A and B are shown apart, each in its own frame.
Chain A
């Protein structure tokens, strides 16, 4: 579901990845980001995707991909196989977000996680004003027809990261289509946010 911010988020993710490093893109879709990681950053990339059409598209780009359901874990991928694991706009759509986050930091040193922020003031306002599940530009789904199984804010993600014994070494808010680091009132203003996670023991 590449929204209007998709291009900008891809740019942001590309900046967080070291040249020539090994990257695994979870829920890689048709491999759009993977292709850029390969050509612009010289990364060795692998994708994980459930959709058959998407997997075929990734193969058509000459990239490697494994068809798998993220909720089943990444059992096929040995520990520390990658430098970075990317999960963009997908955490809220899996059944077991904690499993996915743990798996990311098992197979990779760092995890880049982009999540929509349900703490945004506009969403809060809709809920209060209308007393209904919110439908906004950045979350354009009716409650009965949404791929988003979990509703969380930036605060919630921070709590979960702590609870899982991980560290958020960076946090970049996406506000009005632009990335902002150390934003004021981020949880009110951000449409979505990128969290750079590492294992706490590192």
Chain B
């Protein structure tokens, strides 16, 4: 099959320009996806975008795994009037960290998501009704299996790199463990081989907020006229705090008030401090674009992820294949502290694998991988360049 390049922007302006989301159907029965948690799922729609041009040898493809609430729209704009570019537009484009003048970049929405790929907000095959909580339990394994099938369908045997941060980094690690021969390199950002107990704890609070929202209706809010907005917004507010560091939250807000410089002594004023106002705003925006059931499914997939437990040990999981690894952590990330990255590196050194690790000093906490794009480009660009050289040198 031929690959349609969705990029139409002018090169050199730092943007991939106007892009469109494409969709493919995979795992049509009888080839349904066997889920790691049991059961079958098919057919699955996968929504994805691509930027740049696939080389004739098909050796310059990079797959981007998005984080918990991301989507396939990673770079460029969806329309001439759009003011909001893709979620990683600072890092993907001509001359950027993932240089679309050199590489063919693919990003797909995850299984269980709500931005085009099959998830709980879609109609179930029984017809008429939406899946809701009848959607099967999904894991990081399942998400990666679907990504892998997409790559295969696009005619790419082996990716130059698979890259992702946070939940995306988990997908990268799972990919390296499950399909080591389909990647030349793996780039793991602000992530780890499992979610910490503290991470699970924060996810639990978020889920609880959704579950107790009177509008949740056991996940069947689609057939009611109200969404569990308060629960989902509250889940987002809690999660957002875990993405910031003490330094960044102080820097951004401090104790500054939203209006004036005097305390109101009024409990009804819920957004008196700037930090309150910011969190409310984050929550409010989030419910416009995200499905509460997807949030439940994906945070659970994140909780369940434990690479060592699934594959025997980390060394067993990451010991196969010859992919090069780049592991990046951030000094103020307390959701995925550097120790989690170091654990991965130790296993890779034991397995005599090619691994590079850098902990960056950054005040931005877990979010740093989405903010400090120049710093990240500094290591990712030469890493990719060398990997491509290695691939082309040996073929």
Contacts and interface: CB of A to CB of B under 8 A. Distances in A.
Interface of A: 22, 44, 46, 52, 55-56, 58-62, 64-67, 75-78, 81
Given A66-B345, A81-B349, A60 B356 contact: no
Contacts of A46: 349, 355
B383 interface: yes
B346 A77 contact: yes
B382 A59 contact: yes
Most B Cβ at <10 Å: residue of A44, A52, A61, A64: A64
Interface string B242-254: 0000000000000
A76 B346 contact: yes
Contacts of B383: 59
B390 interface: yes
A46 B349 CA distance: 9
A22 B378 contact: no
Interface of B: 324, 326, 342, 345-346, 349-350, 352, 354-360, 378-379, 382-383, 385-387, 389-390
B283 to A, nearest CB: 36
Contacts, number: 56
Contact of A62 (B342, B378, B390): B390
B357 A66 contact: yes
B350 A81 contact: yes
A67 B359 CA distance: 7
24 contacts: A22-B352, A46-B355, A52-B358, A52-B360, A56-B379, A58-B356, A59-B356, A60-B386, A62-B389, A62-B390, A64-B324, A64-B354, A64-B355, A65-B357, A65-B358, A66-B355, A66-B357, A67-B358, A67-B359, A76-B342, A76-B345, A76-B346, A81-B349, A81-B352
Contact of B352 (A44, A58, A75): A44
B356 A66 contact: yes
Contacts of A22: 352
A75 B356 CA distance: 15
B378 to A, nearest CB: 5
B349 A59 contact: no
A76 B352 contact: no
Contacts of A55: 358, 379
Given A75-B342, A76-B342, A65 B352 contact: no
Contacts of B382: 56, 59-60
Contacts of A81: 349-350, 352
A61 B354 CA distance: 13
Contacts of A78: 346, 349-350
A142 to B, nearest CB: 29
Given A76-B342, A76-B349, A77-B349, A64 B356 contact: yes
A64 to B, nearest CB: 5
A65 B356 CA distance: 5
Most A Cβ at <10 Å: residue of B326, B349, B355, B383: B349
Nearest to B393: A62
A73 to B, nearest CB: 12
B350 A59 contact: no
